[in-house]
Amino acid sequence: MIEDFLLRAAIGGIGLALVAGPVGCFVVWRRMAYFGDSLAHSALLGIALGFLLGIDPTLGVAATAIVAALLMAGLQVRQRLASDTLLGILSHGGLAFGLISIGLTQGLRTDLFAYLFGDVLAIDARDLAWIWIGGGAALVGLALIWRPLLALTVHEELARAEGKRVALAKLAYLLLIALVVAVAMKIVGVLLVTALLIIPAAAARGLARSPEGMAALAALMGVLAVLLGLAASWWLDTPSGPSIVAAATLLFFATAIGGTRLALGRGRA
């Protein structure tokens, strides 16, 4: 008989993986891995904010992530610093301020480890609702902007010249990442959120022949990683969030090696 908490963890993890895979494909295609990191770290402030305002912590994180995403996008338009330097400042600055805000808030300090690395075995029905409703909304949103977002990812100016709504698609995509970061926080924590976005997508690349195929495979890889990670956590008593990310990493290397052998066999990369 499966324990209830393990079942909830699996349902929550699968829900997150289904949305993180497709959203993460664009993070990989648009080279936004560092952006995702900075966003997740800044979102740590949202936990203290949610606690102080007495609102749902996930809501606090979602609001903070959205504000941080808009600020970062605005800062990147006119800049003297290279993009990775700017994101590095925001990433580590966000983490530092987030940790301080949690440290200063009575009643939060003891849970610090859970915020950083997730605590999927402790998710409750409300968290599940957040994951499936928030994640479902993010997937629908992604489907709606899929065509213009893909076109601008391949060539932004050409997409603009063809009359596609580039600015709208970019803005909507930032909000989607913020939403995914918020729902992922409970499961893998702020330090590992980006891993769930980019590793399943990267693992899917070698097996995919179309953008949609890669998105679907990334979702599948994420689900596999969640199940393998939870199994390891159950049988080997390892921390659950890191176990999920470790499983995804092993899947990535497996497909990378398998994909290379396949490519060599076919005679072309």
Partner 1 sequence: MQGPDAPLIAAEGVSLALDGRTVLASIDLAVHPGEIVTLIGPNGAGKTSLVRVLLGLVRPDEGRILRRPNLKIGYVPQQVDRDPVLPLQADRFLALAGPTTRARRQAALEEVGAAHVARHPFHALSGGELQRALLARALLRDPDLLVLDEPVRGVDVGGQIALYDLIDGIRKRRGCGVLMVSHDLHLVMAATDQVVCLNTHVCCAGHPEAVTRHPEYRALFGSAAERLAVYVHHHDHAHALAGEVLPIGEAGGHPHPHP
Name the site residues for partner 1 (rule: CB under 8 A): 28-29, 147, 150-151, 153-155, 157-162, 202, 205, 208-211, 213-214, 269
Which CB sits closer to partner 1, 66 or 248? 248
Question: Cα–Cα distance between 255 and 165 in angstroms, integer?
Answer: 35
In the complex, the smallest distance separating the C-beta of residue 228 from partner 1, rounded to whole angstroms, is 24
In the complex, the smallest distance separating the C-beta of residue 200 from partner 1, rounded to whole angstroms, is 14
Question: Cα–Cα distance between 160 and 151 in angstroms, integer?
Answer: 9
Question: Cα–Cα distance between 197 and 180 in angstroms, integer?
Answer: 9
Which CB sits closer to partner 1, 88 or 211? 211
- Other Cβ atoms less than 10 A from the Cβ of 210: the count is 8
Question: For the chain, what percentages of helix, strand and coil (3-state, to nearest 5) are there?
Answer: 85, 0, 15
Which CB sits closer to partner 1, 160 or 170? 160
In the complex, the smallest distance separating the C-beta of residue 29 from partner 1, rounded to whole angstroms, is 5
Residue closest to 201 by CA, chosen among 258, 137, 147, 256? 256
In the complex, the smallest distance separating the C-beta of residue 164 from partner 1, rounded to whole angstroms, is 8
Query: Which residues fall within 8 angstroms of residue 83, CB to CB, at 6 or more apart?
Result: 76
Which CB sits closer to partner 1, 75 or 150? 150
In the complex, the smallest distance separating the C-beta of residue 147 from partner 1, rounded to whole angstroms, is 8
In the complex, the smallest distance separating the C-beta of residue 202 from partner 1, rounded to whole angstroms, is 8
Question: Cα–Cα distance between 43 and 225 in angstroms, integer?
Answer: 24
Question: Cα–Cα distance between 1 and 264 in angstroms, integer?
Answer: 45
Which CB sits closer to partner 1, 18 or 202? 202
Which CB sits closer to partner 1, 150 or 250? 150
φ/ψ of residue 55, rounded to 5: -105, 170
